[in-house]
Amino acid sequence: MENLKPIAYKDNIIIQEADSELLVYDLRSGKAHCLTESAAFIWNCCDGRTSVEQIRRKVEEKFKTEVSEDFVLLALEELGREGLLESPVETRFGKISRREALRKLGVGTMIALPLVASLAVPNTALAALTCESFVCHRPRDCAPPCNRCVGAICKVV
């Protein structure tokens, strides 16, 4: 796993921050994903240049607590399974239940376990939203018909 440098899938998605969680709507699959703060942080670290070990160290620095590489791998596996990484990540957790994985991680961690909760969203729910409903950092964060990021808000231009 030391050579693994995951890449977050960020095309055709809409991102909305909600308190300490991140809501991600995947336009390809019509699924909405809610990422815990730790899962969102790990996902945002997946730039194709940062290794699992480097992500682990960043997590420790951000949350000021020790975490194992397994903690990061569990998040990467969930993100990959939900299509939020360019390529899925296979770990030893894939062959065991989530309960067993949590037991292996131990209960000593002081931050929320990485979790990705997903559900299918009907297209009518997305149609009811306006462009101003979405926070953006670059134009590709905006979903059609919104096509411009103006002051961190999606607009139609």
pLDDT digits (tens, 9 = 90+) for 60-117: 999 988 888 888 988 899 899 899 999 988 776 656 555 666 666 554 454 555 667 7
Residue with tokens 């949350």: 63
pLDDT for the residue numbered 134: 60
Q: Who wins on pLDDT, 148 or 88?
A: 88
For the chain, domain boundaries:
13-121, 129-157
Q: Tell me the Ramachandran region of residue 16: left when phi exceeds 0, alpha when psi lies from -120 to 50, beta otherwise.
A: beta
> What mean pLDDT is reported for the chain?
77
Could you give the CA distance from residue 41 to residue 1 in angstroms, rounded to a whole number? 19
Cα angle 65, 84, 139 (rounded to 5 degrees) comes to 105
Band of the pLDDT at 7, cuts 50, 70, 90? very high
Q: What pLDDT is recorded for position 60?
A: 92
The reported pTM is 0.69
**Separation of alpha carbons 51 and 45, rounded Å:** 9
Which letter does DSSP use for residue 148 in this model?
E
Kindly tell me the burial class for residue 124, based on how many C-beta atoms sit within 10 Å of its own C-beta (0-12, 13-18, 19 or more). exposed
The residue length of the chain stands at 157
